[in-house]
Amino acid sequence: MPAKILLYSTAVVLLTLGMKAISSILIPIFFSFFAFLIFSPLVRWLMKKGVPGKVSVFLVILLFIFVFFGTAVLFANSLIQLSNMIPSYDTQLQSILGTVSTHFPVSGDTLTSVLRSIATFAFRVSGNIVTGALNAGSTVVLIFIVTTFLLLDSAGAPVKVQKEVEDQPVYLSRFTELSKTVINFMLLRTETNLIGGIGVAILFLIGGIDFAVLWGLLFFLFGYIPYLGFYLATIPPMLLGLFKYGPVGALGVLVGVTIINALIENVLFPSIAGRGLKLSTTIVFLSLIYWSYVLGAAGALIAVPLTIVVKIVLESSEDTRLMAKLMESRGTRDQVEEDEGKNGA
């Protein structure tokens, strides 16, 4: 057993170092793979409606291009407008600090330094993550090409499966099951992020927070980052709420997005747990650190999906199945045992 543990540990270290060394290649490949998972159900839906496979893929790729470039243009325009408005925000900040310094024994310079440090950190971290995602898009041609081939293979998969099913029924059944598991997770996470992003944008539009659509997109994007994403996406609009309405505005932004996030994470997203996808809190947090180290800022966006893929791979082997079980939350194991009990009954 110690020899096996040493072997696995060495393999993990070598694999980690290898992936980090070629991260610039892996990032667009991973993004292509997850884009394929998100868009492949749409291709199948079009094919069921009678649209030929290649035409379905072409239409979906056009949608992919439109979404990607539309989002990039919106981000770029919003950031340019935001940079142009910074001088006016600075004036509002000085006014707020003057009011605060009259009630608290803290110098205005100290408050200015603290708030600017917080703002700089928040915008820098947010910018790094967004830039990491867009840097993956800098090889956008490769992403589109790989995604296109994956979708074309997917469109022809039913025929291939039918031909091979007699020879390898167990492996094909397992592969189909695992593919559905990852696709279900990606779709559910994307749907809940979209609902949350739209909710945030509407809230900010009603509240008069500048760049409401930009912050909605930011919440959608950062929704893929477990735990930290919500807080990172909250800080920039909170600062704008502070500049425009004072402390009450910042508090209103915090309360509003907290309610939306609570509804998303505690009402909508928990349905995933019923599908056996729930990972333990510790594993999710460690995966965020690990994939951010290996792939940089872009790794934070796909940390959970990649970890689910790892868990699925571990479950496929008897030697590593225990490791996969240890990655699950206690509640999920209880649910599995309950389901097994029902099946046994």
Interval 239-266: pLDDT, tens: 888 888 878 888 999 999 999 988 887 7
Q: Is the pLDDT of residue 308 over 80?
A: yes
Higher pLDDT, 78 or 157: 78
Q: Is the pLDDT of residue 198 over 90?
A: yes
- Mean pLDDT within 140-149: 84
Higher pLDDT, 155 or 27: 27
Q: What percent of the chain has pLDDT over 70?
A: 69
pLDDT at residue 181 in the model: 72
- Of 219-223, 233-237, 322-326, the poorest mean pLDDT is in 322-326
pLDDT at residue 21 in the model: 92
Residue in 84, 312, 61, 78 with CA at minimum distance from that of residue 186: 312
Higher pLDDT, 285 or 175: 285
pLDDT at residue 176 in the model: 66
Q: Is the pLDDT of residue 87 over 50?
A: yes
Higher pLDDT, 248 or 279: 248
pLDDT band at 332 (very low <50, low <70, confident <90, very high): very low
The sign of the dihedral angle between the CA atoms of 233, 235, 239, 241 is positive
pLDDT at residue 20 in the model: 93
Higher pLDDT, 108 or 321: 321
Q: Is the pLDDT of residue 119 over 50?
A: yes
pLDDT band at 336 (very low <50, low <70, confident <90, very high): very low
Q: Is the pLDDT of residue 10 over 70?
A: yes
pLDDT band at 206 (very low <50, low <70, confident <90, very high): very high
pLDDT at residue 342 in the model: 44
Helix axes 108-137, 53-101, angle to 10 degrees: 170
Q: Is the pLDDT of residue 31 over 70?
A: yes
pLDDT at residue 205 in the model: 93
pLDDT at residue 210 in the model: 87
- Mean pLDDT within 175-203: 81
- Of 70-79, 99-108, 187-196, 282-291, the poorest mean pLDDT is in 99-108
Q: Is the pLDDT of residue 27 over 60?
A: yes
pLDDT at residue 164 in the model: 53
- Mean pLDDT within 102-125: 60
Q: What is the pTM of this model?
A: 0.71
pLDDT at residue 231 in the model: 82
- Mean pLDDT within 181-185: 76
Rounded-to-integer distance, Cα 184 and Cα 190, Å: 10
